[in-house]
Amino acid sequence: MPHIHVQAEDFDTQAIISKLTAGHGEIGAIVSFTGLVRDLPGQSLQSMTLEHYPAMTEKALAEIVESAMQRWDLIDVAVVHRVGELQPSDRIVLVVTSSAHRREAFLACEYIMDYLKTRAPFWKKETTSDGEHWVDAKNSDGEATSRWE
């Protein structure tokens, strides 16, 4: 059963991996991706705020995960995405995929991140000494999904 959580609190990656693998001797491969808040040049990022559409975020993440699990032979998946105010180097997102062999776990992890970046309703706002400004979506993120089609 996929574990999908949207939360303000930080997450414990090792605890999540342990929970995913417990009792699943058939898992031979675990791949995890962690996204961090990257600072701006000159360490000028004061904070980053993640806004989201509460009624839709977990649903959207669940659909992306379901799509990955239909496409590849995965054993289980966990996705955790934080919201609210974060600091530079804070963890934002975790994607963990597990499978018998490594190929599926690697591909599915990348696929899930590519679709999360373009379909999951979160928005980043940066705060610097100049004030607050919404981060623009990148063209490269939009293009990344096309290679899966």
Partner 1 sequence: MINVLYFARLKDTLGIAAEEIDPVASNGKVDITDVASLRERLCQRGERWQNALSQQRLMTAVNQEMAQADTPLADGDEVAFFPPVTGG
- Residues near partner 1 (CB under 8 A) are 35, 50-53, 55-56, 59-60, 81, 92-93, 113, 116-125, 134-137, 142
**CA 69 to chain CA centroid, nearest Å:** 16
Identify which of residues 3 and 119 has a Cβ nearer to partner 1 in the complex: 119
Residue 112 CB, nearest distance to partner 1 (Å)?
A: 10
DSSP H helices, the chain, are 13-21, 54-71, 102-119, 139-146
Of the pair 5, 100, the CB lying nearest partner 1 is at 5
Q: How many angstroms from the chain centroid is the CA of residue 86?
A: 15
> At its nearest, how many Å lie between partner 1 and the CB of residue 127?
14
The least distance separating partner 1 from the CB of residue 29, rounded to whole angstroms, comes to 22
Q: Could you give the strand order of the β-sheet that contains 91-99, starting from the edge strand earlier in sequence?
A: 3-7, 76-82, 91-99, 29-36
How many angstroms separate the CA atoms of 89 and 108, rounded? 25
Query: Which of 9, 26 has the CB closer to partner 1?
Result: 9
